[in-house]
Amino acid sequence: MTFISIEFLLFLVATVCLNYLLPHRFRWVLLLFASYVFYASLSMQFMLLLLISTAFTYFAGIVIEKQETKKQRKKVMLVGISILLFLLGWFKYFNFVNDSLRSVATFLEWEYTIPYQEIVLPLAISFYTFQAVSYLVDIYYRKQKAERHYGYFSVYFAFFPQLVAGPIERAKKLLPQLKVEQRLTQENLIYGMQRIAWGFFKKTLIADRLAPIVASVYDSPNPTGSQIVLATILFSIQLFADFSACSDIAIGSARMLGIKLTENFKQPHFAVSIADFWSRWHITLSTWLRDYIFFPLCKGKKKRSQIYLGIVMTFLVSGIWHGAAWTFVLWGLIHGFYRVFGDATKSHREKMASFVRLDRIPVFHVWMKIAITFLLVCFSRVFFRSNTVADAFENAQLFLSLRSWSPWGLLKAFEIFPLLDLLIFMFFFIIFQLFQYIERNKVSTWKVVSKQSMVTRMAFYIFLLFSVLVFGVSGNGFVYGGF
């Protein structure tokens, strides 16, 4: 029962209806049952791990809160976090570390006897582990009281709209909403359905239409440089459409239950710098890394070199979180370098822009920064998308080659698209961009739609539904569901 399925929509409708029919004091039971049913339908074999992680985090939070001194609280917190990270490390990183050590031992001609283990990655473990860690840390700092109601805590830990791929919510935001009686409102229902429909649009008409095109290049033994450039740009569009669609459906589903989840994306491909990009992309992860990795690493640090090291270490954690492969490590380090280089050269770049009088043409200057930032992000995604480190460096070399960017070569690279698929994609991509254009003017697209006549609104909704049903393709899971 994935988000993109009739089964999920029927499941959501049933959950919403029952939620508002039940008295408030029983709703947590329904939400917990629905969350466990949803998770079990996707990954029944790891239900026990989810239950154990929930119970452990619940009791660890209470124990931390009961400690009389800050030093005692810190010890218990570190033990709790270590156990949570051990579970994550065992399932997600054991074979990565094991294979890396084996490669080093082989290179040095040492004997290495630890065998490869058949370990399956539990669904959503990266997301609910980070949520658990933030909960324990907030209790340690007295920013959050330990939740005593096991039912409400369990719902917070496994709330089905955001369990599989976020947003990564903080307890201080989600728990109070679960405890307050949410009223059935037309506004929440309509908004929720709109966000879900938009998520289906982006997933089936943008992301899943691009996925096989991108794969045909990245899985090819001998792609041309221009094909790598085009496929990488398309992958950036695919990844954004895919992940933001998942967030749209999560936010829409929760809103229908009266719960407001954190926005996870703010048009990241229109960022004017890498720092700006990370304030717009996967916002709940970015803020989590800032609050629980970067700030502790740089607490009390004043030297710029120490802060830069903290930035690199934070992005290294981001890369490792995304996947157990050296390609993700390199991707994280590239973004760490981007951030350090961007900060170190900011004043020089501003002086250069002033010297060549770019600042006198602000619109052109902004779009130039957007283009440069987007290309830097695309280059990093060569490593994110490549299957191996060797492939990543080969593809990166092709991406950076001037010949790969020749207009004729790029035009010829569009042959990876069947003509009909290209026309369909371009049509819906233009609609997608129109939505983003309206949003960039700080006007909600859905508010613009809601102000139209009933006939216009219904025609638009029918168009969305018709487009998804007739032209939408699916069958692929969400990219971030694998992290």
Per-residue pLDDT tens digits for 397-407: 999 999 999 99
- Which residue type occupies 33? F
Q: Which residues are catalytic?
A: 322
Q: Give residue 446's pLDDT band: very low, low, confident or very high (50, 70, 90).
A: confident
CB 482 within 8 A of CB 122: no
CB 415 within 8 A of CB 229: no
Domain ranges (residues) in the chain = 6-184, 189-482
- Which residue, among 433, 353, 334, has the nearest Cα to 392 in the 3D structure? 334
Q: Give residue 475's pLDDT band: very low, low, confident or very high (50, 70, 90).
A: low
Least confident range of 82-91, 134-143, 423-432, 434-443: 434-443
* Mean pLDDT for the chain overall: 90
Q: What is the pLDDT of residue 78?
A: 95
Q: What is the pLDDT of residue 477?
A: 67
Q: What is the pLDDT of residue 54?
A: 95
Does the pLDDT value for residue 442 go beyond 80?
no
How far is Cα 270 from Cα 244, in angstroms, rounded to an integer? 15
Q: Which long-range contacts (CB under 8 A, 24 or more apart) does 306-313 make?
A: 308/340, 308/343, 308/344, 311/336, 311/339, 311/340, 311/343, 312/336, 312/337, 312/340
How far is Cα 16 from Cα 254, in angstroms, rounded to an integer? 9
More confident residue, 29 or 483: 29
Q: What is the pLDDT of residue 298?
A: 87
How far is Cα 205 from Cα 189, in angstroms, rounded to an integer? 24
Angle at which helices 171-179 and 150-158 cross, to 10°? 120
Q: What is the pLDDT of residue 315?
A: 94
The residue-averaged pLDDT of 132-159 equals 94
Q: What is the pLDDT of residue 480?
A: 63
Write down the H helix ranges in 345-418: 346-355, 362-385, 389-400, 407-413
Enclosing H/E stretch for 230: helix 225-256
The residue-averaged pLDDT of 86-100 equals 88
More confident residue, 105 or 266: 266
- Which residue, among 85, 119, 91, 115, has the nearest Cα to 101 in the 3D structure? 115
DSSP code, position 149: -
Per-residue pLDDT tens digits for 272-331: 999 999 999 999 999 999 999 999 998 888 788 899 999 999 999 999 998 888 999 999
Percentage of the chain surpassing pLDDT 90?
Answer: 65
End-to-end CA distance of the chain: 18
CA atoms within 13 A on the CB side of 410: 13
How far is Cα 273 from Cα 366, in angstroms, rounded to an integer? 10
Q: What is the pLDDT of residue 443?
A: 72
